[in-house]
Structure 1
Amino acid sequence: MPIECRKTDEAVSSLTPLQYQVTQEAATEPAFRNRFWDNKSAGIYVDIVSGEPLFASTDKYDSRSGWPSFTVPIDPANVVLKTDREYGMVRTEVRSANGNSHLGHVFDDGPVEQGGLRYCINSAALRFIAVDDLEKEGYGDFRSLFTNEESTR
């Protein structure tokens, strides 16, 4: 990883109440009323607590769910999948590997041509880094995920 990605007390204490509820207590933010559900900018999404690179805009799509949805993580080692039996359902929870932040859930109703998965992620668990800011923010290694055309959008 280009920068040290780990959970710190300082990072957790700087979260907004909603970010804390989502990442530390496994809450879910409202659909269609969150920061990134309709973000079309080029860049990467990192764990708001640890800074782990999680998803790229190149793998984001409109699932019409009201939350940011992705077909794959940037690096599968940065996410942990756990069985979630809350609310009388069996789902697969997505957590960040180093930050142990609750991110959302993964479902098998994503685009078939891209593997069939839908990582349905809470915006409150994410920080977006625009492609033109990758180097400045310490994520320059991920520049290769984007074409020059995407960096000018």
Structure 2
Amino acid sequence: MTRRGFFAWASGVSGAFAASRWVFRPTEAPAAGGSFEVARSDAEWRKILSAEQFNVLRQHGTERPWTSPLNKEYGKGTYVCAGCELPLFSSDTKFDSGTGWPSFWTPIEGAVGTSVDTSFFMKRTEAHCRRCGGHLGHVFDDGPKPTGLRYCINGVSLKFVPA
């Protein structure tokens, strides 16, 4: 199986998992555990986020691959958290991973926290906003130099601010 074929297969599986998470989503939003500078109730988050943003940022959902306009955004600027507007990634670290989600090889220092995600019978590294705890995506060790990391981020969890 080619790498591209694998990613196509993985995208389909991810979509099925995302759909099942939407159907069986909890009534209370399980953002990253811990205490964060920006804390809001579910009702407050729902007022400021779209339904899709709420699902991803507050309920650890996953957007469908290839659906985010930010996947093709390569202008100079900064990607900020859609929940609290904390600057998360510089456009200088963005690359085309071929996965269908915006990918970066490193975040802005101190902006992104990580935790262990054991959902779907896998052990992955989850990336979340340091300030509001919003789920961003996952970190994989198949990225480019210099870090070798791929921050695979849901575009709906970001806003792009041109330089």
Partner of 2:152: 120
Q: Tell me if structure 1 keeps the 8 A contact 2:45–2:54.
A: no
1:127 aligns to what SS in structure 2?
Answer: strand
Amino acid corresponding to residue 116 of structure 1 in structure 2: G
1:6 offset after TM fit, Å?
Answer: 3.2
Aligned pairs, how many? 125
Partner of 2:72: 38
Q: How does 1:46-65 map to 2 (within 5 A)?
A: 46-65=80-99
Q: How does 1:71-86 map to 2 (within 5 A)?
A: 71-75=105-109, 77-86=110-119
Amino acid corresponding to residue 94 of structure 1 in structure 2: A
2:126 aligns to what SS in structure 1?
Answer: strand
Q: Distance in 2 between matches of 1:120 and 1:109?
A: 11
TM, length-normalised to structure 2 = 0.73
Question: What are structure 2's unaligned runs of at least 5 residues?
Answer: 1-36
1:79 offset after TM fit, Å?
Answer: 1.1
Q: 1:96 aligns with which of 129, 132, 137?
A: 129
Question: What are structure 1's unaligned runs of at least 5 residues?
Answer: 132-153
Amino acid corresponding to residue 127 of structure 1 in structure 2: K
1:104 aligns to what SS in structure 2?
Answer: strand
Q: Distance in 2 between matches of 1:40 and 1:97?
A: 24
Query: CA RMSD of the aligned region, Å?
Result: 1.4
What whole-Å deviation, never above 9, does each CA across 1:10-62 have from its counterpart, x for those lacking one? Answer: 55522111000000000000101112111111110011111111001100000
Q: Distance in 1 between matches of 2:46 and 2:148?
A: 33
Partner of 1:18: 52
Correspondence 1:108 to 2:141? yes
- Identity among equivalent pairs (%): 38
Amino acid corresponding to residue 123 of structure 1 in structure 2: G
What whole-Å deviation, never above 9, does each CA across 1:87-138 have from its counterpart, x for those lacking one? Answer: 0111000001111000000000001x2210000000111111000xxxxxxx
1:37 aligns to what SS in structure 2?
Answer: helix
1:31 aligns to what SS in structure 2?
Answer: coil
Show structure 1 runs of 4+ deviating over 4 A: 7-12
Correspondence 1:29 to 2:75? no
Amino acid corresponding to residue 134 of structure 2 in structure 1: S
